[in-house]
């Protein structure tokens, strides 16, 4: 325990790597002191320069170390859709590539027309519903359908992006059916429980929801702190594209041309891939290639 701030009821703990974790102190926390070793559970990963949030389990001894790994990807997926069959192989890879592209987007289409935009800030996640040119004979009925659709899409997108905390949804239209909207929100965000809390629909036409933060946001993983994919992310996209070509043509030899930075970043993953499919793939870095593009040709 590196720092104990009883006035703010917060303790900071070194986890051995990365930023200090944050432990909220409660009346049942028990006696603690700086320098003490304790066993904790990571409740949410580090994000945006902020340390992970922790839960105290009890006293411990020895150096800081991992006692048990977190849930793997299969367990995480099953938690969101308990009765669904987990897909693997080329189909899953294609869907994962599409999901990665969507995780970097801001605006998403709604079934039946209209859009919803999802934009995180340091304080909250702002969600705006736009009816656009959604067809419908009666405006109020179209607005109702659009808001219901937006709740479902927003919940899916937030899970995809790994976002949580305070959500403020700017609903479209006026005279909202608050009970029906709250019921729809409860169903849409059900997989994120426990810990989801719903607020009333305000007179300004907004709904507030809090969703627990459990995962590191996808944008932190996929970018270098901005809005565009990082060189590492683009390098992995190149390697996956090469893998698809190699599997589609078992005897073909392929070369990828990319920027010097992307080619260098692709090196470790390419070594693993060539170990699986043979030394018939190569990546060549070239001056003048933008990080945003690469070209694959059959030799």
- pTM value is 0.76
- Looking at per-residue pLDDT, the higher value among 16 and 154 belongs to 154
Distance CA(280)–CA(96), nearest Å, equals 25
C-beta of residue 185 within 8 angstroms of C-beta of residue 198: yes
For 177-218, how does the pLDDT look when each residue is reduced to its tens digit (9 = 90+)? 999 999 999 999 998 999 999 999 999 999 999 999 887 888
Q: Which of 199, 132, 198, 142 is nearest to 174 (CA)?
A: 142
Instruction: Read off the pLDDT band of 135 (50, 70, 90).
Output: low
Greater confidence (65 vs 266) lies with: 266
Backbone angles phi, psi at 72, to 5 degrees: -75, 180
Q: Rounded to the nearest 10 degrees, what angle do helices 260-277 and 231-248 cross at?
A: 40
Residue range 267-292: average pLDDT?
93
Show me where the domains of the chain are located.
Answer: 3-59, 87-217, 230-298
């Amino acid at each position: 325990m590196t720092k104990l701030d009883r006035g703010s009821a917060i303790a900071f703990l070194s986890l051995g790597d990365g930023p200090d974790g944050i432990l909220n102190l409660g009346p049942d926390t028990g006696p603690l002191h700086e320098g003490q070793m304790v066993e904790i559970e990571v409740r949410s990963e580090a994000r945006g320069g902020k340390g992970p949030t922790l839960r105290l389990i009890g006293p411990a001894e020895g150096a800081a170390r991992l006692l048990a790994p977190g849930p793997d990807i299969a367990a995480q997926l099953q938690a969101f859709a308990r009765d669904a069959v987990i897909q693997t192989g080329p189909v899953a890879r294609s869907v994962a590539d599409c999901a990665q592209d969507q995780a970097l987007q801001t605006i998403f289409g709604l079934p039946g027309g209209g859009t919803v935009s999802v934009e995180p800030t340091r304080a909250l996640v702002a969600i705006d519903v736009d009816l656009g040119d959604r067809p419908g004979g009666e405006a109020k009925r179209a607005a109702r359908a659009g808001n219901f659709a937006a709740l479902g899409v927003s919940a899916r997108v937030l899970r995809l992006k790994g976002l949580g905390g305070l959500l403020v949804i700017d609903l479209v239209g006026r005279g909202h059916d608050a009970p029906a909207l709250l019921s729809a929100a409860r169903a849409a965000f059900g997989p994120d429980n426990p810990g989801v809390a719903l607020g009333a629909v305000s007179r300004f036409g907004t709904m507030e929801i809090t969703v627990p933060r459990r995962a590191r946001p996808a944008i932190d993983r996929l970018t270098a702190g901005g809005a565009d994919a990082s060189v590492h992310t683009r390098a992995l996209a190149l390697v996956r594209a090469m893998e698809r070509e190699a599997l589609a043509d078992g005897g073909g030899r392929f070369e990828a041309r990319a920027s010097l930075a992307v080619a260098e970043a692709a090196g470790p993953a390419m070594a693993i891939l060539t170990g699986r499919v043979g030394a018939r793939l190569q990546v060549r870095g070239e001056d003048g290639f933008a990080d945003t593009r690469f070209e694959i040709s059959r030799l």
